[in-house]
Amino acid sequence: MMKVAVIGASGRMGQAVLQELIAQGHECAAAIVSEQSSQLGQALDDPRLAGRHYSSGRELEPGSVDVMIDFSLPQALSHNLALAQHLGAPIVVCTTGLADADQDTLAQASQSLPVLYAANTSVGIALMEQLVTLASAGFADADIEILEAHHAAKRDAPSGTALVLGEAAATGRGTTLAQSTAGIRGDGPRQAGSIGFAVLRAADIVGEHSVYLAQTGERIELTHRIRDRQVFARGAVQAAQWLAGQPAGRYKMRDMLDTKALLQRLLHEI
Ligand SMILES: NC(=O)C1=CN([C@@H]2O[C@H](COP(=O)(O)OP(=O)(O)OC[C@H]3O[C@@H](n4cnc5c(N)ncnc54)[C@H](OP(=O)(O)O)[C@@H]3O)[C@@H](O)[C@H]2O)C=CC1
Ligand SMILES: O=C(O)C1=N[C@H](C(=O)O)C[C@H](O)C1
């Protein structure tokens, strides 16, 4: 049983993580929202968390939290990492829409804490990243385009996952996404070698990503679809459990799942 503090607890994902903690018998050490939140001080909805309230996390003391899970907003990142450092608690950061400077902040925090950053905590996307790198290297002349679809309330675009898949595709071509991105495709002809993004926002779509690798007359499409947010929550709790046993450092989902070793073994066999 772990004592887990959930940041962004009143949100779509925060609620899903609270459900997952209850289902797995872990303790919710804190349900953290912003200082400005209309939920601050309000009781948690689920009767199984009776007596618990949304808080800012200020009341927490070092040693009271085994691990933190953050599904909030990019502007809260520095504050969340400072709280994790104060508590000496490993942190799984799942927020997307981060700027380059935020990646530096994560790297800095990981010098003294175990920090796992995942734009997508599903097992499927961790595996798809590597499939995309393989396909982009093997299908070396193909044009690469990435399509993502999400619910109407999503703030950032392209999604964090789409950018991770873009980076994976660029890696297969021996380059970086920064050097090859065309951003969200607009008008004008396509520049050879560029990686473009298409974004769809509608209703309650949870999260869908397709990578197209197309050359004249044939194409590969790699697609991942999630229809239940609990998949992300389950992955985040699994990551938290794993991270709690790691030394300070920066980690990804694939470190926990060890998909690299799996693919290497399979590649050796085929
Ligand atoms: N890694 C993954 O697998 C996934 C990542 N995400 C990402 O997670 C993030 C959250 O998504 P979602 O739950 O849909 O968004 P919501 O808008 O539903 O929730 C965001 C939550 O963050 C809280 N929040 C805002 N500011 C702060 C702060 N300073 N400190 C603490 N909490 C704060 C908000 O509460 P309040 O305003 O009341 O404080 C709210 O509860 C997004 O970046 C999204 O892209 C989403 C799904 C999967
Ligand atoms: O905001 C969301 O909902 C999601 N965000 C993540 C992203 O930006 O990739 C992961 C998932 O697709 C859902």
Its pTM stands at 0.97
d(CA 155, CA 159): 9
Q: Is the CB of 166 under 6 A from ligand 2?
A: no
Output the pLDDT for position 65.
98
Structure tokens at 139: 């299908």
Contact yes or no for 141/176 (Cβ under 8 A): no
Domain ranges (residues) in the chain: 3-117+230-260, 123-226
**Residue tagged active-site, from 150, 209, 224, 268:** 150
The dotted CATH code for 3-117+230-260 is 3.40.50.720
Q: Across the chain, what does the average pLDDT equal? A: 96
pLDDT at 260 over 80: no
What's the average model confidence in pLDDT over 191-200? Answer: 97
Atom index in ligand 1 nearest the CA of residue 151 equals 14
pLDDT at 222 over 90: yes
Q: How many CA atoms lie within 13 A of 31 on its CB side?
A: 29
Task: Work out the pLDDT band at 131, boundaries 50, 70, 90.
Answer: very high
Residue with tokens 């690798």: 213
pLDDT at 259 over 80: no
Q: Which of 7, 13, 122, 125 gets mutated to test ligand 1 (max ligand atoms within 8 A of its CB)?
A: 13
Architecture of domain 123-226: 2-Layer Sandwich (3.30)
Tell me, in angstroms, the distance from the centre of ligand 1 to residue 140's CA.
Answer: 38
> ipTM of the assembly?
0.98
Output the pLDDT for position 83.
98
d(CA 165, CA 168): 5
